[in-house]
Structure 1
Amino acid sequence: MRALTWHGTNDVRVDTHPDPEIINPRDAIIRVTSTAICGSDLHLYDGVIPGMKSGDILGHEFMGEVVEVGARSTLKKGQRVVVPFTISCGQCFFCQQQQFSACDNTNPAEKQDVSEKLYGHAMSGIFGYSHMTGGYAGGQAEYVRVPFSDVGPIVIPDGMDDETVLFLSDILPTGWMAAENAEIQPGDTVAVWGAGPVGLFTVQSAVLMGAAQVIAIDHHPNRLKLAEKFGARIINFEETHVREALMEMTAGIGPDAVIDAVGMEAHGFSPDNVVDVVKQKIAPGADRAHALRQALLACRKGGRVSVPGVYGGIIDKWPLGAMMEKGLTIKTGQTHMQRYTHDLLRRIQEGEIDTTFLISHRIPLEQAPEGYKQFHDNQNEWIKVVMTP
């Protein structure tokens, strides 16, 4: 089969690999019909996520047709399914608590050492996202093996095209959980850092959850225009002092909830971010957290902080005093996908959620290296890339 593989920083290639096979009785093999490049894939592209090996198959946003099943899979050949990016067993302590992205059984024991040393506990399995998360082959390929296929994949009803449901694989549930973690109340002002795909779904989710005012912060005009489509007020951080603007918009109080949908590669020329950029270039595992620092300082006293943006290492200059003295509540984490997918599928079917508005480019898998380069270098125009094997 053909698959997109990682070969080093800013070096991805479409190579030929053996077709996947059933290994465990709960496995299924999916023929991929649509896959997408995620903003967090760019962290791999930039080489800032540890645990990558040359030849690893990338991709964690994908869907397709079931072509083979293990003896204990609940799927059937011919079904169309969307596959969540997190791999969950459905039986461990965390899955029973519906904390599916913290699953204890999907990261093979031999892969757990690095993440356990770095984070205190081993991470769960994730498709196409380094050997810290199990070393699983991703879905930017013609075929993919899906472990625990009786737990993760969601069967798609006839009549719904791929692009309508593809983002159930990651960014739509991630945006929804980001808004849910912000504990939005009627009348709230919610500020969202980052108007990329996750940030845009976060804006849409916050509006649906009843926020009175949603403010999107970014520097790409086209992305900010999409945020305005859902009623958000916008701040271009290259043109406006963010904290001053937020205080003016909230009568000097600050946002009730702030959401960092940027993660470890914040942009901008503030002194802290310039230093972070240098550190990230010379020290793998150093994150650029300017957006999160800014969000913490802007949030009102007693407010809530939600962090869907991916962080993988360590940061310094952490405003711990602001967090403690202002009494902020912080919720973070990879998305507990299975908690949200069925409800969000229903909302898509009923027309409550718009899922295709952010697709800017459609390309064949063979053009994936160029797609990655453009998505990385030209984010104002390349907002979301969908690929077909």
Structure 2
Amino acid sequence: MSAVKLLAEIADVGKDSGRGGYSRHVFDAAELELRQWFIEQAGLRGLAVRTDRNGNIWAWWGRPARGAVVTGSHLDSVPGGGAFDGPLGVASALAAVDILHARGFSPTKPFALVVFAEEEGGRFGVPCLGSRLLTGALDPDRARGLHDTAGITLAEAAAKAGRDPANFGADPESLALIGCFIELHVEQGRGLIDMDSPVATGSSIIAHGRYRFSFSGQGNHAGTTLIADRNDPMLPAAAVIAAARHAAAATSDARATVGRLVPVPGGTNVIASTVELWLDARVPGNGRTATLVEDIAEVARTAAAEEGCEVTVTQESYSDDVVFDEVLRNRMDQVLGGVPALPTGAGHDAGILAAHVPTGMLYVRNPTGISHAPAEYAEPIDVDFGAVSLAHVLEELAG
């Protein structure tokens, strides 16, 4: 079955009528439905499925063994995300298996598909949750205590979904099976539009991190509390939002974004008692992201003190610059006949695995240049071209 038809099968799962696009988060109803869909699709192709201790789903063509060629992506989304970020890589992996079956191909190396859990961090805040746990990059106790906006912990959500959170943690046995990992993904920018190419390989991912700023002040009545008597945490929070833009603009090739802010109690006529906001910061070059964040944090501390508030800054996640395996990328490029190589500011599970095994990315053109939003798109002809390209690469690597 083509990747286009596979994506059509899940087009109604997790639609978000409020935000537009899709909201699919680990262990919620939509993501669990997608997990079941993948398991059924893998079974139809004769693949043996297992879910590892961290909730990542593996589908094996043949017996699991070391040195495996592995491909896949994720099924979760950001809140109100597009239809392609994550699921395109999963659907293309399934379609590539169909293409290889049609060619009469039989792998001589171990071969597997994988769906990683909570790549976006849209529910519990930490991106690439499944691959970080797999590789030991995330402490399992910290992971179990992560909570969503409703106060449900990851441990509680996993248990409700039938997974034992006590098993979370580094999985050297599963990691040791991976000989190389290829992740196909919709491009999250305009590179391929400008290059007039349907696909590209990935060259690198810039360093990036997420940081939580927690401001505390004094909740009070909006109508009876004089301005001079206020300790309003919304003011230093607002200063951070402005500082993030100014600091990024003053730093070469930096990005800094505040996309989420939560005041408590959140009433229109109430001065907030606390405000939490999350900063996403990305700067090429190891160590430069920390410098940018410290500049923003200094603004936060000064603004909080001026308003009689307090602030704490917590690093939620961080990844250094990632350069994808050059030997693997050259092999991909040779198979595909010479395609562009693109750096990206977007994080991926392939970036987490890159510290442990050779990894590569294959991007499919996005004519809108928009991602993490409903306008994200890929033309059907490019979707199918990407799946065929992935099949070519897998045939080379596993044949």
Q: Decide: shared fold, TM above 0.5.
A: no
Q: TM-score, normalised by structure 2?
A: 0.23
Q: TM-score, normalised by structure 1?
A: 0.24
Higher helix share: 2
Which structure carries more relative contact order (alpha carbon 8 Å, separation 6+)? 2
